[in-house]
Structure formats: structure tokens, C-alpha cells
Structure 1
């Protein structure tokens, strides 16, 4: 962590942390209000999405408070540089606690919205959830270590469960996608890429210290990258999961689809 941040650097991190809090909170609120708009068999996936966004919002509140406590300024109006407060540091551990809880749940969302046979679903979750938790747990010791050798070791170890997750998503899960309605098959396939692409930000930030990428700009870039990745991997991902659940609800029940469309038309008419 840098010893000093310019006013612009401080405001950039401050504003992005605020953006993540708003994104996660209001996505969770939207999904909660919208639960009745999908069939009960798909509500488990959306409930998990609400929990994910809620967990993320809580931890970003903690990250936000930690950031404000870690950097202080004595300038009038807060327009000068910000320096590290004595005896206080920015707690990066909040992110890992968040990821340890939410990354496995992101995979639960995906499997739940597929609504597969119970045996198939249980088999996928029994492999994906422990692998996701192990991936995050192995990365943390390297993140907090000041030694590059330990960072490399734990980074490589965390890539083993990550590679296994990729295998399940793009080899094993592909077989299950063929049973999905044609209207959502492409979206579900692309959803896996969205998840993986958003995850790539994390290992990139993880290896930056190995290349002596330090200073205020590098640290701020890392915080912004983490924030954007969390918005995409949780809020945007959850909204796409909801759109899939809604489309599948319409496919499963023509009566439900007609009722929902009638409701939407009525709302538009009132406007």
C-alpha cells in the first residue's frame, strides 16, 4: 500500500468503492422485488444472487470504512494529498472474506438456474463449490505475504482449482447446456465467459507486485480493477441470471407468460 495518495487518486478509489456499494445494494433490491416475476423452480438461483450481492455490499461498506480510516489529510477542504494514518492500514482481507463466500455462490447461481435433474445438479455443485473455496483460500496467504517466492507458490497452487473449475464449466457443463431451451442456450454459454473474464482481473492484480509495480497509481488501478470486476461478476451476472430465469419461466408455462405480459402491458398503460 502506498504511503501517500494525491487528492485525485483518493477520490478515484472513494468513488469506485461507492459505486460498487450502490450497484450491489440496488441489484439485490431489484431482484428481491422481482422474485414473483419468475416461476418458483428458478427462485433459488435468484435468492442466491440476492445473497451474493448482499454479502458484497456488506464487505464493501467495510472496505470503504477501512479506506477512509487508512488515508487522512490535514489540508483545508480535503483538497491536498492523503497520507497513511499512523497505526492504521487498509484491510485487504475484507475482499478475500467476500470472495471466499461469494465465488462459490456465483457457481451455485449458474447451476441453480439450469434446473437440472437433482442428481446431476448435486454432482456439479459437489465439485465446483469446494474447488472455488479452495482457489480463494490458497490465494490469500500469497496476497498477505511480503515474499515473492511465497506469492508465486500460493498463486500457482490456487491456479490448480481454477483450472479444474474451467474444465467443469467448459467441458462437463457443456453437455447440460444442450438440454436448455434454445432461447437461453447462447446466453448461458456466454455467461460462463463473462464469469471467467471478470475473474481474470484478480490474478493480474495478484501478480503485479512480482513486477515491482508499486506506487499510488498501481495501487489505485488495482482497487479500480477489483471494483469493476466485482460489479460485473456479481451485479451484472445476477441480472443476466434473472433474465435467463424469466425467459425459462415463459418457456415452461404459457399461462405464466401471458399473465406477466398482461401485467407489463397494464403497467405501460398506466404510464
Structure 2
């Protein structure tokens, strides 16, 4: 390496304050993602089976992102040593950006799955759209990684531009495909769910826009410690918005659509659906002839045969009083 060349972005000598800011951003985002993982784990049954793939995608991406931020913190903590009042990087600091790209290569495709799972595209069209958007999301990350990390360690401006433009092509396809799916879905749902889906899409695509802006910084300027701090904080904040803010809105869409299906009589859900402290639908059990054995076990094996003989799924309150007497 020519000593006159600027250092790669991750190998900046960091003043104490800037080092602490980055550490705070990484830890804050990591704890937020851990909380979101627990939220996704405990709330996945709040939506019907039709929309539950969105909850599973959220759970998977929250788990991956939480582990990635743990590794990122370890990379950051072990990648610098304190000398004469500044933090001097070693080669382990180089892995901080690589860890982010590994995270994104898995979680960004899962974000597209999460969004499409609450849209109204179905059948073969849904499978094609899901496959193409996941592939585009993955290739968007990989091509960006080549320019930002692989070729000349991210210091080749021409490589940054070329691979950045290739990544942008996949980025543009994602915008077109996801917006198209959302626009086709909005007329098929109630106004409240439609507003939440629109807001979730805006949050996701807006947060996506942060990454290419940060990626482009080394194209126009040498990355200083202050710039590198801004990059790390920007990436961490965008991860929180794209994964948590978007995920909470999508979960709300899934709950509202579950309630709409229950009220319309096209689906059932064993528990009442509430959203923002507002009651949206009552709990409705499946028809008796289609009750799953697991549900019968939960209702009680002693009442199972009786429920199968009766035309209604559960006795009324008056019927229970008569039986008790």
C-alpha cells in the first residue's frame, strides 16, 4: 500500500469521543434488535395463518441482525487499542463493515418476504415476485460489497462507481416491484390496514435510501474519522428503522387484515384481535368438523367427542349452566 494513500474507511485512528459514539450506536442498535426479536417471538400468534409468514420472516431477520450486531460489537471492541489518548485500529477493525454486509445479505431479502406476506398477491405470481425480489435484494448487497470492500479494499473510486451503479440497478428493481405489489394490494383491504401498509412501505424504501448515500461518501471525499463515525451511526440508525420500525408497522397490517378476514367470515382466529387498544374482531373458532386434534387437546379430551357430535364449536353460557345442573 502506498503510504500516501488514504486509509481504508474502517482503519481510521479514532479520537476517544468518536470511538465512544460508534460504540454507543452499535450497542443501542443491537439491544433494540434483541428487544424486537423478543417482541416478534411473543407476538407471532396474534395474526392468522394467512399472514403468519410475515411474522416468521421478522423473527428470522431479528435473530440474524441481533447476532450480527453482537459480532460487530466484538469486532469494534477488539479492533482498536488505546494509545496516547486515541484508538489505533488493527486488522480486526477491518471486519466491521464485512459483518454488516453479511447481515444485510440475509436480512434485506427477508424484509421483502415480510412485506409481500401481507400483500394480496397470491399463487404463482406471489412465488415469482418473492423469488425475484429476494434475488434482487441479495445481488444488490453483494455487488455493493464488491465495490466497498473487495476491490482495492474499498479505496478504488472507479470500482465504487461501477459496482455502485450495478447495485443501484437491483435497487431500482426492488422499488418498482415492491411498490407495484403494494399498489395492487391497497384496494383489497380496509382503509386502516391500507394506511399502515403504505406507511410501512414508505419507511422501508426511505431507509433503503440511506445505504447508497453512505456508500457514496468515499467516491466524493476521503473518509475521515468524523465521516466514518457518521457512516457507522447512519448504518445503525437505518438498520433500526428498516428492521424494527418497518416490522412493527407490517405486524399491525397483519393484525388488521386478520381482523378483516374474521369479520368477513372468510377466516377464523381463536383470539380477539386488538390494535392500538381498539377492538377489531372477536375470537372465532373453526367449524367443528375441521377442528384440528391439537385444538381438541387444548379444549380438553373429555369434551372432544361431545364437541364433534354438536353442530356448534362450543356450548353457550346458558348451555353450560344447564349441563352443570
TM-score calculated relative to the size of structure 1: 0.89
The answer to whether structure 1 residue 82 and structure 2 residue 87 are counterparts is: yes
Equivalent position of 1:32 in the other structure: 41
Equivalent position of 2:25 in the other structure: 16
Offset, 1:131 = 1.1
The answer to whether structure 1 residue 238 and structure 2 residue 247 are counterparts is: yes
Offset, 1:162 = 1.0
Query: In structure 1, how many angstroms separate the alpha carbons of the residues matched to 2:107 and 2:73?
Result: 18
Equivalent position of 1:114 in the other structure: 119
The answer to whether structure 1 residue 151 and structure 2 residue 160 are counterparts is: yes
Query: In structure 2, how many angstroms separate the alpha carbons of the residues matched to 1:133 and 1:25?
Result: 23
Written as runs of structure 1 = structure 2, the 5 A alignment for 1:82-231 is 82-85=87-90, 87-91=91-95, 92-114=97-119, 116-144=121-149, 145=151, 146-231=155-240
Whether contact under 8 Å (1:71, 1:84) holds in the other structure is: yes
Q: Secondary structure at the match of 1:97?
A: helix
CA RMSD of aligned residues (A): 2.0
Unaligned runs of 5+ in 2: 1-9, 279-325
- The one of the two structures with greater contact order (alpha-carbon pairs below 8 A, sep at least 6) is 1
Offset, 1:163 = 1.1
Whether contact under 8 Å (2:57, 2:113) holds in the other structure is: yes
Cα 1:170/1:260, change in 2 over 3 Å: closer
Query: In structure 1, how many angstroms separate the alpha carbons of the residues matched to 2:241 and 2:43?
Result: 20
Whether contact under 8 Å (1:35, 1:43) holds in the other structure is: yes
Query: In structure 2, how many angstroms separate the alpha carbons of the residues matched to 1:154 and 1:228?
Result: 24
Query: In structure 2, how many angstroms separate the alpha carbons of the residues matched to 1:162 and 1:258?
Result: 39
Query: Which deviates the most, 189-198 or 149-158?
Result: 189-198
Offset, 1:128 = 1.0
TM-score calculated relative to the size of structure 2: 0.74
Offset, 1:11 = 0.9
Q: Secondary structure at the match of 1:41?
A: coil
Equivalent position of 2:320 in the other structure: none
Q: Secondary structure at the match of 1:26?
A: helix
Query: In structure 2, how many angstroms separate the alpha carbons of the residues matched to 1:105 and 1:88?
Result: 28
Query: Which deviates the most, 251-260 or 49-58?
Result: 251-260
**Which protein has the bigger helix share?**
1
How many equivalent residue pairs? Answer: 258
Whether contact under 8 Å (1:70, 1:84) holds in the other structure is: yes
Query: In structure 2, how many angstroms separate the alpha carbons of the residues matched to 1:165 and 1:3?
Result: 33
Equivalent position of 1:247 in the other structure: 256
Query: In structure 2, how many angstroms separate the alpha carbons of the residues matched to 1:84 and 1:73?
Result: 9
Offset, 1:226 = 0.1
